[in-house]
Amino acid sequence: MKLLIPEWRTISGVDKKVYPNVEDVTDELIFFGNFKTFGGTEKVVNEVYSIEDTAVIETWYRPEIRAECRIALLNTNDVYEILVSPENIEMRNQFLKFKVKRIRGKT
């Protein structure tokens, strides 16, 4: 997986997060982990049934992985947004676990 760390830029007087292209990510931001999808998350909003592509990632601890980052899969280049702050398992700085949601469309 590739870690996409945003840069903050002022555009028209407003601070905005800008993510790098997946192809431009350097090798030091590649990491390995366990990626489980469980078939997505079912939702019913306004009586419309839908399924969100969600997954859980477990990996070695890296302090640069934060809630504002995105994750791209190496084999498909699908981009996922981190939903909540990554959990530092047992506060040992050894393992991280976090939930992600797939981003579709232009990123």
CATH of the domain at 64: 2.40.10.370
The residue with tokens 């601070």 is 15
Identity at 47, one-letter amino acid code: E
Q: Could you tell me which residues are beta bridge partners of residue 105?
A: none
The answer on pLDDT for 106 being more than 80 is: no
pLDDT at 105: 60
E-strand ranges in 1-107 read: 2-4, 7-11, 14-18, 33-36, 41-45, 48-52, 54-60, 70-72, 79-82, 87-88, 95-103
Q: With contact defined as beta carbons under 8 Å apart, do 50 and 41 qualify?
A: no
Give the mean model confidence (pLDDT) for residues 80-98: 95
The answer on pLDDT for 107 being more than 70 is: no
Domain enclosing residue 55, as ranges: 2-103
Number of domains in the chain: 1
Reference 73, options 32, 40, 106; nearest CA is: 32
